[in-house]
Amino acid sequence: MKLLIDTDFRRNAVTHKSVAVDKTVHWGNAEIAIPVLERMAFPPRANESWRSEQIPYIATMAALAKSREISLYSSFELTMEFMRQKRTGRGYLGIDLLEGVQIDRLSGPVERSVMWGTYESAGTTKQEQIEFVRSIKHDRFQQLLSVFQDAHILDTYHLWTAENGGLDGFVTLDKRFYMWL
């Protein structure tokens, strides 16, 4: 089975992160406060308890991917979304369920270029990504978009990417999107 995984799937696979915590150390006659790395859990917010229910599924899919029973994919557009996320890294002591999992890159049905620069970049913001996707007039994409509507335009593009690439599915934790499926 080949699956395109959404940014929220990758983000929620990081269950614990490294955090610097000030600790008091007794050194001779002195007390010194130094930062020490500790593993800290980052559970979902109270209004997102349903995300906690997804962790066993993420862990199972990660184990299946590690044993090569399923293949996981990302794409350029998903990578752009992932790079915009805050606190995506786990750090040295953190736990990332996808650590060691091979995530292959799938080409999108329509590709674009992004310019990275020292002072200015083009095409990297969420709004620029939405404008790019909104400009696509391909019949199949428009057909999917008529079902999922503009509020889910990026996930609709990812679903089309998975379909166009011959994958078996698109995995997202976006509750509002998968309620449509």
pLDDT mean values, one per 10 residues, the chain (181 residues) = 94 87 89 89 78 88 96 95 76 85 95 77 83 95 91 93 96 73 45
Give the model's pLDDT for residue 121: 66
Burial class (CB in 10 A: 0-12, 13-18, 19+), 139: exposed
Using CA atoms, how far apart are residues 109 and 96, in angstroms rounded to an integer?
30
Give the model's pLDDT for residue 180: 46
Cβ–Cβ under 8 Å, residues 154 and 77? yes
Using CA atoms, how far apart are residues 112 and 136, in angstroms rounded to an integer?
11
Cβ–Cβ under 8 Å, residues 36 and 24? no
Tokens matching residue 141? 């994409």
Cβ–Cβ under 8 Å, residues 54 and 128? no
Give the model's pLDDT for residue 44: 74
Give the model's pLDDT for residue 117: 72
Give the model's pLDDT for residue 113: 82
- Name the nearest CA neighbour of 16 among 65, 55, 73: 55
Coil, helix or strand at residue 21 = strand
Cβ–Cβ under 8 Å, residues 174 and 155? yes
Separate counts of helices (H) and strands (E) for the chain? 8, 7
Beta partners for residue 73, in sequence order:
4, 104
User: Where do the domains of the chain lie, and which CATH numbers do they carry?
Assistant: 2-16+44-178 (3.40.50)
